[in-house]
Amino acid sequence: MRKLTSVNYLNHTIVISIENDLANCEEHSHTYIELAYTMNGKAVHTLNGYDNLISAGDYVIINPGDIHNYKKIGNEKLTIINCIFTPVQQISKSDSILFDSILHSLNIDTDSLMTEPTQYIFHDDDNKTVLNLLRIMENEYKTQNSKYKIIMKNLYDAIILHSVRSISSPPKNSLNITDYIKDYVSVHYNEPNLLQTISNDTQYTMQYLSTRFKKETGRTFKAFLQHTRMNKAATLLVNTNMQIPQIAETVGYSDIKYFINIFKKYKEHTPMKYRALNVPNTSKNKS
């Protein structure tokens, strides 16, 4: 990835704009970096196919080429303040810089970060530090007094440094996020939309959680969840007299045919056959 020198970094412009009521935002992408701060309202923000709930105080950083859109929730106005960082004279699409380049220009070691900043939902602190800096930038952009570009760049740097600091320290109690996912699934395996719930609880995007889990375990989150559910189902088949539809529902499946197919995939037998092979005199039990 191309690193920016301080001179290259200064040869870009920062633009501030506000959407007072973003009622309709179709799927789109940009050739610039966008920091989108939710000032008011709630929405589902979709980034590269992954949905995340955002509300007032949340903000995201979007790389050039990333595809995203908003779907407002409720009747409250959805107000978004956009901070756009783009080349002054863009020669081609390849001239678009990625957010990592800005981090390198600020001497930030990206390997020390717990997550990709562009796959994370940031949340402003109680003092609204980021919003206040954006408001100052907005005023500078409107008035365009002497040295306003340099002031805006310094404020932009301050926002980035402040944001990155929140993902540079270890998680609470040094908790590894992959271990957290495993522990959570072991308890809540029968609940729907588990990855979305974990995403909301940890503020990591589903895309990041999926990628990191696959990298550290060698299997997808979906495969891990199915494996956990099938092990639970097998235990119930062997140790209880529960009917198979009831077992399916207990481990999180409302579609009995789908449950049987998945069970056979992991256990090589249908649930009925598995019970027959593992429980003495099972032929006397109704399944």
Confidence of residue 24 (pLDDT cuts 50, 70, 90): confident
Confidence of residue 132 (pLDDT cuts 50, 70, 90): very high
Please report the pLDDT score of residue 265 as a whole number: 95
Domain boundary among 132, 165, 198: 165
Tell me: pLDDT of 8 over 50.
no
Tell me: pLDDT of 90 over 60.
no
Q: How many domains does the chain have?
A: 2
Tell me: pLDDT of 117 over 50.
yes
Highest-pLDDT range among 49-53, 243-247, 282-286: 243-247
Residues 102 and 215 in one domain: no
Tell me: pLDDT of 27 over 50.
yes
Residues 42 and 178 in one domain: no
Tell me: pLDDT of 87 over 70.
no
Tell me which of 31-45, 80-94, 261-275 is least confident. 80-94
Please report the pLDDT score of residue 264 as a whole number: 96
Residue 1 in domain: no
Residues 141 and 246 in one domain: no
Residue 246 in domain: yes
Confidence of residue 6 (pLDDT cuts 50, 70, 90): very low
**CA distances in angstroms from 239 to 57, 150, 193, 268, 275, listed in the order given:** 49, 70, 28, 19, 9
Selected residue with higher pLDDT from 24 and 174: 24
Please report the pLDDT score of residue 250 as a whole number: 93
| Rounded Cα distance, 143 and 75, in Å | 33
Residues 111 and 237 in one domain: no
Confidence of residue 4 (pLDDT cuts 50, 70, 90): very low
CB 134 within 8 A of CB 103: no
| Rounded Cα distance, 136 and 141, in Å | 9
Please report the pLDDT score of residue 12 as a whole number: 56
Residues 178 and 39 in one domain: no
Tell me: pLDDT of 218 over 90.
yes
Please report the pLDDT score of residue 287 as a whole number: 40
Residues 35 and 155 in one domain: yes
* pLDDT tens for each residue of 256-287: 999 999 999 999 999 999 999 998 765 444 44
**CA distances in angstroms from 242 to 145, 189, 237, 248, 282, listed in the order given:** 75, 18, 7, 10, 12
Selected residue with higher pLDDT from 74 and 24: 74
Average pLDDT over residues 83-104: 65
Domain boundary among 100, 132, 165: 165
CATH number at residue 273: 1.10.10.60
CATH number at residue 43: 2.60.120.280
Residue 18 in domain: yes
Residues 271 and 188 in one domain: yes
Residue 235 in domain: yes
* pLDDT tens for each residue of 145-194: 998 888 998 999 999 999 988 787 554 444 588 988 998 999 899 999 99
Tell me: pLDDT of 95 over 50.
no
- Which of 183, 176, 177 has the alpha carbon at shortest distance from 204? 177
**Burial of 31 from C-beta contacts in 10 A (0-12 / 13-18 / 19+):** middle
Residues 188 and 157 in one domain: no
Domain extent for 188: 172-287
CA 179 to chain centre: 17
CB within 8 Å of 269: residues ≥ 6 apart? 263, 277
| Rounded Cα distance, 245 and 249, in Å | 6
Domain boundary among 165, 194, 210: 165
Q: What percent of the chain has pLDDT over 70?
A: 87
Q: What is the DSSP string of the chain?
A: -PPPPHHHHHTEEEEEEEES----EEEE--SSEEEEEEEESEEEEEETTEEEEEETTEEEEE-TT--EEEEEESSS--EEEEEEEEESS--SGGGPPPHHHHHHHTT--GGG-SS-GGGB-EE--TT-HHHHHHHHHHHHHHH--TTHHHHHHHHHHHHHHHHHHTTTSPPGGG--HHHHHHHHHHHHTTSSSHHHHHHHHH-B-HHHHHHHHHHHHSS-HHHHHHHHHHHHHHHHHHH----HHHHHHHTT-S-HHHHHHHHHHHHSS-HHHHHHHHSTTGGGS--
CB 49 within 8 A of CB 41: no
Please report the pLDDT score of residue 155 as a whole number: 92
Bridge partner list, 238: none
Residue 202 in domain: yes
Residues 204 and 112 in one domain: no
- Which of 88, 64, 68, 56 has the alpha carbon at shortest distance from 27? 68
Average pLDDT over residues 51-68: 92
